[in-house]
């Protein structure tokens, strides 16, 4: 059994991931900002904890995640204002990385997006710019940390049923992938030492997720 804490626990991917992990016998804590979301989290088998990482300091985040084996970052501002995007997707994510280091949590899985990088090429007047900047900064901070990190870069997300199979590569044309399968990849990498230190970009494809790290 592994103790896993999911940040952004009420997101669609996070809820699916929590259910997969608890079914597999792991102990899962899911952090939520809104107390009204606790019942949805509890229905997955995870333990809901109300903790607004946008407002918490690094040390306060550390207090919440201490004692866990893995942090999964699946939080986001959800396309709000640029200021809130920077506050959540960049600043809070970076604080959570520093908190994991300070609290001795060895493993960190970041849910990012396909194409996230510092030279992303998104124009400043594009509404996606703040998100691209934020994810690039958080991902790079994670890569430079001492944590056993994995960054997931799924392409466009859909609510289609999962297929259980993907294609992985650094030069893929962006396609789409069901959130079911993103959750399944996140669950797989948590148990795969071979995924540490890797950025995994993926679409739906022919390779069974269960075969990815054999």
Q: How many helices (H) and strands (E) does the chain have?
A: 7, 11
| pLDDT tens by residue, 1-18 | 799 999 999 999 999 999
Give the pairing type, strands 27-32 and 107-111.
unpaired
Query: Quick one: average pLDDT of 95-124?
Result: 94
Residue where the block lists tokens 């992990």: 21
- Rounded (5°) CA angle 138-199-84: 25
Reported CATH class of domain 3-211: alpha beta
Up-side HSE of residue 126: CA atoms within 13 Å toward CB? 9
Residue where the block lists tokens 């970041």: 110
| pLDDT tens by residue, 79-90 | 779 999 999 999
**Between 201 and 191, residue with greater pLDDT:** 201
Helix (H) / strand (E) element for 138: namely: helix 129-143
Residue where the block lists tokens 């640029």: 82
CB neighbour burial string for 18-32, b if at least 16 within 10 angstroms, e if fewer: bbbbbeeebbbbbbb
User: Which residue in 160, 147, 165 sits closest to 202, CA to CA?
Assistant: 165
Query: Do the beta carbons of residue 189 and residue 213 sit within 8 Å?
Result: yes
Query: Quick one: average pLDDT of 200-214?
Result: 94
> What pLDDT is attached to residue 177?
98
In the chain, what are the domain boundaries?
3-211
């Amino acid at each position: 059994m592994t103790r896993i804490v999911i940040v952004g626990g009420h997101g669609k991917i996070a809820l699916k991931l929590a259910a997969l992990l608890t079914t597999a016998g792991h102990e899962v804590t899911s952090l939520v900002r809104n107390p009204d979301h606790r019942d949805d989290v509890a229905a997955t088998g995870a333990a809901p904890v109300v903790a607004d990482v946008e407002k918490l300091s690094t040390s306060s985040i550390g207090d919440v995640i201490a004692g866990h084996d893995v942090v999964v970052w699946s939080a986001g501002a959800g396309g709000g204002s640029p200021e809130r995007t920077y506050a959540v997707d960049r600043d809070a994510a970076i604080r959570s990385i520093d908190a994991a280091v300070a609290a001795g949590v060895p493993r960190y899985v970041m849910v990012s997006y396909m194409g996230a990088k510092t030279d992303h090429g998104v124009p400043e007047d594009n509404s996606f710019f703040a998100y691209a900047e934020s994810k690039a900064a958080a991902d790079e901070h994670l890569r430079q940390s001492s944590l056993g990190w994995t960054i997931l870069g799924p392409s466009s997300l859909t609510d289609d049923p999962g297929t259980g199979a993907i294609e992985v590569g650094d030069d893929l044309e962006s396609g789409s992938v069901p959130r079911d399968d993103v959750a399944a990849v996140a669950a797989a990498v948590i148990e795969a030492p071979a995924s540490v230190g890797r950025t995994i970009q993926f679409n739906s494809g022919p390779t069974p997720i269960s075969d990815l790290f054999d």
